[in-house]
Structure 1
C-alpha cells in the first residue's frame, strides 16, 4: 500500500509517520521507532490482548481499547494513542497503577500493561457514572475479561480495578 506521510499523536505528542512505516503494526512502531516498550506483544494475532493501548479519535473522545499488534499505523491516522507510559504523570503513578501495586495484581507483569490500558479505557467510560456494587464484577469482566494472563492473576487484577472504581464512586467522581 502506498501512503503519503501521516500523523498520529502518541501520549499527547504529535508524531509524523514516514510513508515507509505506514503498514507497520502499531506495536512494532511504538517499540522500534518511539522506544515505547511498555506495550507488549505476546500472541501477535490479537487474542491475548497484552498489546492493548488506548485510542481516541479526538482528544476529548472517550478512550477505546485497541490491539496494537493487529492495528497498522495507517489505520489510525490523525488519532490519539495512549500507552502504559502515559499513565504516570510527573513521576507519580496513576491511582490504577498504585492499586495494582498495593494488591500485588501481577506476577511476571508481562500482561500488566494490557490490563492497565483496558481498565483505563473502562474508567474513562465510567467517568461521572455510578457503578452499583452488584454490577461491578460484570463491568470489569466486560472490559478486561478477554485479556489473558499466563500466571493466572485474574483475581488480583479485578481486585485492583474494583478498588479504583469503588474509590471513585465514594468520591463522587
Structure 2
C-alpha cells in the first residue's frame, strides 16, 4: 500500500524548513526525529498524556502554546512557526551551546531532573508560561497557582516536580515584569 506524500513548509527555531515531502499522517515527533534530526522532544507515552513531546507553536498574535507532537500530524504545522527544545539555548556558528536559556539554567541549578526524559517538555512548558506572564503578569500571591497550572499536565516519572516548580518560580521572580507587586 502506497502512502500519499505531501510537502510541508514551516519555520522551526526561527529557520525556514522545506518544502519537505512527507507521508500523509506522519506525526510531528516522527518528522522532527526522522527528517530533521531534532531528537530533543521525547516520545514518552505516544498518546499525548505525558507531554514529554511538546513543541511550542508560535501564533501570529505573538502568543504561544504547547502542542503535543506525538498525537499531532506534521501537516498540521504546515505554514506555521514552532520551537523545539533545541531552539532555546544560544549557539555559536558551529552549533555549540554558548548560553542556556534562563529556564534551562535554573533547571540545572535546581537539579530539577534525574533521568531527563521529561525535561524537554518541562522546558517548553515553562517557556510558554513565562511568555504568558510577560503579556499578563500575575500578583505574587497568584504565582504559585500559575506555575502549577502551567506545568500540571507534564508527567515526571522520577518525581522532580518540586524542583521544576522551584526553578520556574525563581526565573519568574527574577525576571522583571512577570510578577506584579500588589500593595
Name the TM-score, length of structure 2 as normaliser.
0.86
CA–CA separation in structure 2 for the residues paired with 1:6 and 1:64: 20
Larger strand proportion of the pair = 2
Bigger mean CA offset, 157-166 vs 129-138: 129-138
Could you tell me which residue of structure 2 aligns to residue 135 of structure 1? 142
Shift in Å, 1:131: 2.3
CA–CA separation in structure 1 for the residues paired with 2:20 and 2:149: 36
CA–CA separation in structure 1 for the residues paired with 2:5 and 2:16: 18
Aligned residues: 170
After superposing on structure 2, the runs of 4+ consecutive aligned residues of structure 1 that deviate more than 3 Å are 1-4, 17-22
CA–CA separation in structure 2 for the residues paired with 1:139 and 1:57: 21
Shift in Å, 1:10: 0.8
Could you tell me which residue of structure 2 aligns to residue 77 of structure 1? 78
**Structure 1's 79 and 97: CA in aligned 2 closer, same or farther, altered over 3 A?**
same
Q: Deviations over 1:53-77 (max 9, x none)?
A: 100133x621111101011111111
Is 2:4–2:23's contact at 8 Å kept on the other side of the alignment? no
Is 1:21–1:73's contact at 8 Å kept on the other side of the alignment? no
Name the TM-score, length of structure 1 as normaliser.
0.91
RMSD value, Cα: 1.7
CA–CA separation in structure 1 for the residues paired with 2:19 and 2:71: 17
Structure 2 unpaired stretches of 5+: 92-97, 179-183
Whether 1:31 aligns to 2:10 is no
Could you tell me which residue of structure 2 aligns to residue 48 of structure 1? 50
Is 2:8–2:22's contact at 8 Å kept on the other side of the alignment? no
